[in-house]
Structure 1
Amino acid sequence: MRLLGSAIDRIRERGGAVVVRGEAGIGKSALLLETGRAAAGHGVRVLGTTGVESEARIPFAGLYQLLRPVLDDVAALPGPQRDAVLAAFGRSDVVAPDLHLIALATLNLMGDAAARTPMLLVVEDAQWLDPASADVLAFVARRLEFEPVVLLAALRDGFACPLADAGLPELPLRRLDRTAAATLLDARAPGLPPAVRERVLAEADGNPLALVELPLTAGQAGAGTAWLPLTTRLVQAFAARVSGLPTSTRLMLLVAALNDGDLLTEVVDAASLADGERIGVDDLVPAIDGQLIDVDEERVWFRHPLMRTAIRQRSTIGQRHLVHRSLADVVRGDEDRKVWHRAASAAGPDEDVAAALDVAAANAHRRGGMEAAVTALDRAAALSIDPVRRGERLLRGAELAFELGRHDVVVRLLDQAGGIELPVRQRARIEWIRERFDDGIRSIGAGPRSLTELAGRAVADGEVDLALKVLWSAALRCFWTEPGRAARQEVVAAAERLPIEPDDGRLLAILVFAAPIERGAVVLDRLRHLTVSRRRAARLADAAMLVGAFDLATGFCATAIDELRAQGRLGVLARCLAAQAWSAAHLGELSVAIPAAEEAGRLASETMQPMMHATARVTEAMLAALRGDEETAENLAAEAERMSAPAGARPVLATVQHARGLAALGSGRYAEAYEHLCRMHDPADPAFHVALRCFAIGDLAEAAAHGGRHEQVRDVLADVEQLARVTSSPALHAGLRHARAVLADDTSAEALYEAALREDMPRWSFTRARTQLAYGGWLRRRRRPAESRAPLRAARNAFDALGVIPWSECARQELRASGETSRHRTSDARDRLTPQELQIAQMVAEGLTNREVGQRLYLSHRTVSSHLHRIFPKLGITSRSELNTALRMTVM
């Protein structure tokens, strides 16, 4: 109570969330109830919801229960958010709103209401919330720091739940010690015979509910029950209390236990229908008197969820079927609930019910309840009579489960479908879905080849879109693993035979992911002549990134990101942000890369994309290296390596070595830098990657030149020169121009430096500045200090503007050695602000309002305002109008 009470005491200054964990009966509900009373006494508004097993298949049931008191405020939300949350509750015709857009609407709805009166959200039995509600509340719980809102969730031990995986503070409840247990028992059951008292204390073992309930049935318990799990004994104790009730009361309790709602009228009507005689509310009085349930004018609910379990367990299958049929007849105005009761009452295949479940799945999908849609399709398949329809329902369920990241469900549904005699098209879909998991990382071998054969069968069957999806899976395998040249060529050949437009973004991405060198030139040429739409920009960004056109990639990403933010597609947004961060890092555009990498990592974690999370982390490692923060760079690189090494994810492992090489290079440890970077070029090394090694050739050459390894690097350089004859990759050719110059002898170096600097590459200022630095140093060492200063000055200024601190300091050292001093570099916004603060400052500097920034970053506008209150003092400013200037300042 002290811990939870302190959260309530400071609710007006800051919000948060706590997960209260413990076994059944440990006192979670009592603790939350008492906290709610204390909060109400402090003028805090209390809203609550309770997870119920039978409601878990109804999407957003728990969320609706929680938000019902504030739904009148929904009209004040921005249009897309308003439509999304109304669609989730079946009040809008918006099709399939993204879950995260619903979550943002929930956050703003709660935050706006709490701005008037601070709010406590109490979530009972979170383990039984419907998955859509649990996901939304996990999203909200992570973002309450700056809201006058506290969320408390009770979660039973041994259950999985998104709220348990949200990284929230936890309060574990333990059993009472012997003294406290005896005090409770004596208070609730005074006068027990000593032998019974000792037995109850021993069996309860400090569990409060057991100390209360076991004495009531101690005389009925058999001598052999003590060995049973405590939860089982509690269920038996509840069941024993039910067995003595009148028949009509027991029937009403069974109806209430099986109902997926809490309306008293439904319980009365269904019980009457099942019994054949009129049963009234008064028949519940014995259960109320026995403190098993509570009832008000409209609702009926159990005082403990184990009571539901006890009642279901003591009923027969026939009784449950009868009750579900009765509930299906009395439920009004909710076809989805009716069909679930029909499905629960079905003793065998029933195509009518299966078809109705199909509709329920479509409704759930339209509302954004993906998990509920999977459950409905799974049950529809089980009730299907026709094998082809059964297979189709299983496949649709597997595809939706894949989007949710539920590998276990996908495998189970596909295994069921695989045992049915299905048409060729459905069999192709089975194989394609199997291949999609992990982007083809773990299962390599003949994967790409089997997928190209599958694509060929799909095309022959007229399924071009399916063939494209299959070949994209094959191309991803080529990207993440190393299947060999022959497998790559087969993927390319199959893709180029498809009857689609040659500049289709899906085709370009397949070509470059499968064969980034061999098809680099043709893809780059098409990319440069495309008119880009927001819809296709994300895939085009992938293609541009892998061909080394980082300037094009960041532009495509910027186009796609705005649309993805508006749609709430946070899974795809995480990937696009990771691509933007990675490409901008290679360009040295840290002001773009730093916030993009941080957000990509955060969203990848929220959307359960481990390889995207690893990609974001290793990009952050590169950025830390470019900033001169070696400790952070190594910690992030090691984390990314741990995440990706078991899967053999070569792009991440290659970038780990690149990050380490940059960190060593920036601090002048050239031998170490060379060892890291040359691993990217060794085909036997897990860090070898056919494309990514090309983008570090300039770094490798620099490490070799400073470390006296000119001869050792020549074979690698010759190999990369060979690749450059095939592809027009801007990053590869820029790196090679730099490499040729720094490795050249005195007779040819100057001409090579000047040739490199004549290239017009306006977005490649980091690469150009590094060449200027190397050229200036070369001139100074040739005793031409006056000539060296101009390129060294240009390099210093560019490095300062980019924020690449080690290279700034190196340029200053070279200038001092040439006889010219420089002003000291002072910290800039990138030094003073966190990545998220930098991102918010940039958006506000562009003229966006707090609400607009919040909509883009999936934060409330109050959170944005709180960040600005921290940002202004850090930058030494007092108003939004000063942000532009503050963000541009890098030196005094």
Structure 2
Amino acid sequence: MTTAGVVGRDAELAVLDRLVGDVRDRGAAVLVRGEPGIGKSALLRLAREAAAERGLRVLGATGVESETTLPFAGLHQLLRPLLGRLPALPSPQRRALAAAFGMSDDAAPELFLIGLAALNLLSDSAADQPLVLVVDDAHWLDRPSADVLGFVARRLESEPVVLLAAQRDGFPPVLAGPELEELHLERLDDGSAEELLERRAPQLDPGARGRLLELAAGNPLALTELPLRCVRDDDAPSTLTARLEDAFAARLPGLPAVTRDLLLVAALEDEGALGESLAAVSALGGDPVTAEALVPAVEVGLVATDGERLDFRHPLVRHAVTQRSTLPERRRAHLALARTLPELDRQVWHRASAADAPDEALAAELEEAGTRARRRGGVAAAQGAFERAARLSGDPAQRIRRYLRAAELAFEWGRPDVVDRLLQETAALDVPARDRIRLTVIRERSEEGIQGAGTRRLTEVAAAAAADGRTDQALLFLHAASLRCMWADASAATRARVLEVVEQALDPHDVLALEVMSNVAPLDRGAELLERLRALSSSPLDPSQARAAGFATSNVGDLPLSVELLAPLVPRLRADGRLGLLGRVLTVQAWNALNVGRFDLAVSAADEAARLAADSAQPLVRAVALGVQSAVAALRGGEGVEEGLAEAASLGLQVGSNGVLAVVQLARGIVALDQGRHEEAWDELVRLFDPTDPAHHPVVRSFSIGDLAEAATRSGHGAEVEPLVAGLEAIALRTPSPALHVGLRHARALLAPEDEAEELFAAALAADLGPWPFARARLQLAHGAWLRRQRRAAESRAPLRSARDTFDALGAVGWGDRARQELRASGEQSRPRTPEAREQLSPQELLIAQLAAEGLTNREIGARLYLSHRTVGTHLHRIFPKLGITSRVALRAAIGA
């Protein structure tokens, strides 16, 4: 990689050179971070040159501050050279990108479908010629573009694509995830700073050199720009950034007026299209202006141009141009742009920027622009449009309505700081009673975490909405309140009030109402809920009803039924691109599958949910998924258990959910029990029963009683566990929860006196445990071990054999070894377990293999799993040798599909 003009960046250049050089073998994504002027753009420029020298295709985009309100502007800038390939994409993906880019009147679909379309567009192009994507000033990307690029960046490993993005310190990372590498540029050391200054200004005397080295403090841009201007102690700005901006601004007064106008127009528009800027300046002065007007600015190093684009030397140049202009000058420039730009929405925004008084007609146009932006998936753009429309509103009622809509969009965008600011501004107005309710709801929904007094307020707002005949809104508010009850363990009084409002406001037979009730009182109302849910499950359900029924049946303990209800929903959510909801569904499915012993399903669902949580920013989903992953990994003898549990616990604390902490604690207990650390298992699990413990949760503990009893009997805590079992026995009288009763039957048999144990083992084994294979095998192991201790070795072997075979089939390595040990002690030898071929596959590989075994093509699999078809092909090439096969035809037999 050529390093001309760059000093002190050898290590960083080596990293970028390696990634660009290896792009034909593996893809990657790198985020370069640092303060203004630290050299981020210079590194990207060198990477572009190195890519071009290697015959790679380079696509570029630059984030600009004014475009943060234009949905998919950055993505369109990056992918514009590839849009000729759009017709080759599958129809849903083609329509998704066309809608996102305003090439059709369709509403933009879920962001993830747009992400998949972008990924496949890049993948197909890279198959012909590897790609290097260069995104500068990524902190100014519009939010939808940043989200799509993050989605793509996490899926590049198998693609001949390298993504290099640069962003300024002080902004949240645009790209994040374990798949991404980050380079943080520090200031140059003294030797490198002196070398750079010597190259830039060899004529400086020692005094001036020392002064500039002190002022620049190792910042490369300062070392190259400050020598062009004499900076004295008595007039220098206080910060380095201000000094740099001042250095650029000092070059403006010497430029011709038409050149300054051209720079101002370009700074306010930011598209970079020289023709558009020239048209606006021509309209501004009334006379035609050509590109010759730009030459003086190029000569003093403020801008560069290739004849089609105008690029500022640095973002500080753009800022200097706008800050050194007057308000009337900026208004004239905005109006000139509004008269000459081709797109309606850009015209409206510039007119709004020029407005200095309320204008109801303009506010209505901005609102329409915001609605169009939201339709295209641009939540941030829509929020900005509604906020600006509110400020331009002459009608107070319209102003309040627009402010509240802007706050709702800011919540949807994930900006609680903006929500809070907008609600404060709205509350200062004369807000009518009905709008005060809406304001309260927005505030409650935007509170960080899920604890606090907001549950009661949401409930009262729901009651008011129901009294006003707004049942749909009442359901929305009650659902939010019920989730807080589930995940944050609300007080008994709060739960009672939520239930009271549910029964007054909602149809008690509606499945959505049943889900709300199951979140609030899954045990106390378990009998009636299970009866209604089982009756509903035999009827056709739409996706919303199937989700609600699946979640509700999980809450009340019928985990096998929940798995059955959610299974057909998963492919439909994938097809619709609803990956946020898909992540939640997969998490519930993974939790259910872990507890019933369907470990293949548990591990694949948890793996996918954990990955999707990164795409949809759902820490609660990721925490539960990691807990399930860790538990299954331990049961199957895998690695990375403690790391996964530690991250899950950290996320649980982050979201303030004792429900999540309880799931993590149960997973820790399962792991310790599996590994024979019974005292530790007791310590972990008993925390679920302590009301003062952060991991206490009345529902999650009901899933743990069998494990707790086993840990207690093996560690000398039998007497301590009996009152805990008795407490759940009392609850079991009120609910037929299968999960609770399976655990209690196991606990009774383990804790029974010798003269009662046989009868209790028989009763437990006589229950319908077909849908609960792991629980049945553990009960058989415990029964066989009890029989052997009673010197009934011959009788013990049948249940021990059944337990061993089930554990082997499930891949529960440790439990299978214990069954073999018991059989050996009874006088019977067992063959060592032969691992199933599918156990060699990662969770994602297993899922791909299953879909390929069903006959799906690589493109169809990629569309379902939101991967490129090339990535699917790469996985299959790894899968075949692991399974000892050479074709897709043999997949079904190899994985036992």
TM-score (norm 1): 0.95
Deviates more, 1:141-150 or 1:870-879: 870-879
Q: Where does 1:611-622 land on structure 2 (aligned, <5 Å)? A: 611-622=620-631
Equivalent in the alignment of 1:479: 486
Q: Secondary structure at the match of 2:463?
A: helix
Equivalent in the alignment of 1:462: 469
Q: Select 2:304's aligned residue among 286, 290, 294.
A: 294
C-alpha distance in 1 between matches for 2:233 and 2:304: 32
Deviates more, 1:723-732 or 1:171-180: 171-180
CA distances 1:581-608 after superposition (whole Å, capped 9, x unpaired): 1111101111011121122122223322
C-alpha distance in 2 between matches for 1:364 and 1:151: 27
Q: Residues 594 and 835 of structure 1 are in contact (CA less than 8 Å); yes or no, is this contact kept in structure 2?
A: yes
Q: Residues 451 and 484 of structure 2 are in contact (CA less than 8 Å); yes or no, is this contact kept in structure 1?
A: no
Equivalent in the alignment of 2:439: 430
Equivalent in the alignment of 1:508: 514
Equivalent in the alignment of 1:75: 87
Equivalent in the alignment of 1:650: 658
Q: CA deviation at 1:648?
A: 4.4
**Unaligned residue ranges in structure 2 (runs of 5+):** 1-12
1:599 aligns with 2:608: yes
1:577 aligns with 2:586: yes
Equivalent in the alignment of 2:9: none
Deviates more, 1:142-151 or 1:605-614: 605-614
Q: Secondary structure at the match of 1:152?
A: strand
Q: Select 1:766's aligned residue among 762, 774, 778.
A: 774
Distance 1:198 1:662, change over 3 A: closer
Deviates more, 1:778-787 or 1:809-818: 778-787
C-alpha distance in 2 between matches for 1:293 and 1:584: 60
The AA in structure 2 aligned to 1:586 is N
Q: Select 1:336's aligned residue among 345, 348, 356.
A: 345
Equivalent in the alignment of 2:572: 563
C-alpha distance in 2 between matches for 1:23 and 1:555: 53
C-alpha distance in 2 between matches for 1:228 and 1:210: 14
C-alpha distance in 1 between matches for 2:728 and 2:176: 49
Equivalent in the alignment of 1:85: 97
Q: CA deviation at 1:830?
A: 6.0
Q: CA deviation at 1:823?
A: 1.3
Q: CA deviation at 1:440?
A: 6.0
1:786 aligns with 2:775: no
Q: Where does 1:715-864 land on structure 2 (aligned, <5 Å)? A: 715-829=723-837, 831-864=839-872
Distance 1:132 1:713, change over 3 A: same
CA distances 1:639-667 after superposition (whole Å, capped 9, x unpaired): 32233236542222222332222223223
Equivalent in the alignment of 1:378: 387
Q: Where does 1:32-51 land on structure 2 (aligned, <5 Å)? A: 32-51=44-63
1:171 aligns with 2:183: yes
The AA in structure 2 aligned to 1:259 is E
1:105 aligns with 2:105: no
Q: CA deviation at 1:178?
A: 4.2
Distance 1:654 1:438, change over 3 A: farther
Distance 1:76 1:536, change over 3 A: farther
The AA in structure 1 aligned to 2:745 is R
Q: Secondary structure at the match of 2:132?
A: strand
Equivalent in the alignment of 1:587: 596
C-alpha distance in 2 between matches for 1:496 and 1:296: 69
Equivalent in the alignment of 1:521: 527
Deviates more, 1:402-411 or 1:248-257: 402-411
- Counting matched residue pairs gives 882
Q: Residues 440 and 473 of structure 1 are in contact (CA less than 8 Å); yes or no, is this contact kept in structure 2?
A: no
The AA in structure 2 aligned to 1:813 is Q
CA distances 1:368-424 after superposition (whole Å, capped 9, x unpaired): 111111121222222222222222222222222222322212222222222233333
Q: Select 1:94's aligned residue among 106, 109, 116.
A: 106
Q: Secondary structure at the match of 2:311?
A: strand
Q: Secondary structure at the match of 1:242?
A: coil
Q: Residues 618 and 656 of structure 1 are in contact (CA less than 8 Å); yes or no, is this contact kept in structure 2?
A: yes
Q: Quick one: percent identity of the two aligned structures?
A: 53
C-alpha distance in 2 between matches for 1:115 and 1:431: 52
CA distances 1:718-746 after superposition (whole Å, capped 9, x unpaired): 22111111111111112222222222223
Q: Residues 450 and 656 of structure 2 are in contact (CA less than 8 Å); yes or no, is this contact kept in structure 1?
A: yes
The AA in structure 2 aligned to 1:56 is T
CA distances 1:527-565 after superposition (whole Å, capped 9, x unpaired): 222222223222222211111111122223222221221
Equivalent in the alignment of 1:395: 404
Equivalent in the alignment of 2:35: 23
Q: Residues 237 and 243 of structure 2 are in contact (CA less than 8 Å); yes or no, is this contact kept in structure 1?
A: no
The AA in structure 2 aligned to 1:64 is H
C-alpha distance in 1 between matches for 2:747 and 2:65: 64
CA distances 1:141-196 after superposition (whole Å, capped 9, x unpaired): 12111111111112223333422677621233344444444444444444345544
Q: CA deviation at 1:105?
A: 0.8
1:411 aligns with 2:420: yes
Equivalent in the alignment of 1:154: 166
Q: Select 2:378's aligned residue among 339, 345, 369.
A: 369
CA distances 1:59-111 after superposition (whole Å, capped 9, x unpaired): 11111111111101111112221111111101123323111211111111001
Equivalent in the alignment of 2:17: 5
TM-score (norm 2): 0.94
C-alpha distance in 1 between matches for 2:35 and 2:642: 41
Q: Residues 448 and 655 of structure 2 are in contact (CA less than 8 Å); yes or no, is this contact kept in structure 1?
A: no
The AA in structure 2 aligned to 1:116 is D
Q: CA deviation at 1:580?
A: 1.0
CA distances 1:685-727 after superposition (whole Å, capped 9, x unpaired): 2222121111111122222333444433222222211111111
The AA in structure 2 aligned to 1:311 is V
The AA in structure 1 aligned to 2:130 is P
Equivalent in the alignment of 2:895: 887
Q: Select 2:695's aligned residue among 687, 690, 693.
A: 687
Segments of 4+ moved more than 6 angstroms: none
Q: Secondary structure at the match of 2:69?
A: coil
C-alpha distance in 1 between matches for 2:742 and 2:328: 76
The AA in structure 2 aligned to 1:550 is L
Deviates more, 1:335-344 or 1:434-443: 434-443
Equivalent in the alignment of 2:248: 238
Q: Residues 589 and 802 of structure 1 are in contact (CA less than 8 Å); yes or no, is this contact kept in structure 2?
A: yes
Q: Secondary structure at the match of 1:162?
A: coil
Q: Select 1:14's aligned residue among 7, 13, 26.
A: 26
Q: Residues 416 and 447 of structure 2 are in contact (CA less than 8 Å); yes or no, is this contact kept in structure 1?
A: no
Q: CA deviation at 1:434?
A: 2.2
Equivalent in the alignment of 1:871: 879
**Unaligned residue ranges in structure 1 (runs of 5+):** none
Q: Secondary structure at the match of 1:454?
A: helix
The AA in structure 2 aligned to 1:865 is G
Distance 1:660 1:279, change over 3 A: closer
Distance 1:186 1:638, change over 3 A: closer
Q: Residues 196 and 223 of structure 2 are in contact (CA less than 8 Å); yes or no, is this contact kept in structure 1?
A: yes
C-alpha distance in 1 between matches for 2:674 and 2:44: 54
Q: Secondary structure at the match of 1:20?
A: strand
Q: Residues 610 and 625 of structure 2 are in contact (CA less than 8 Å); yes or no, is this contact kept in structure 1?
A: yes
What is the CA RMSD across the aligned residues, in angstroms?
2.2
Distance 1:203 1:485, change over 3 A: closer
Q: Select 2:132's aligned residue among 116, 120, 133.
A: 120
The AA in structure 2 aligned to 1:493 is E
Q: Residues 670 and 704 of structure 1 are in contact (CA less than 8 Å); yes or no, is this contact kept in structure 2?
A: yes
Q: Secondary structure at the match of 2:308?
A: coil
Q: Select 1:660's aligned residue among 656, 668, 678.
A: 668
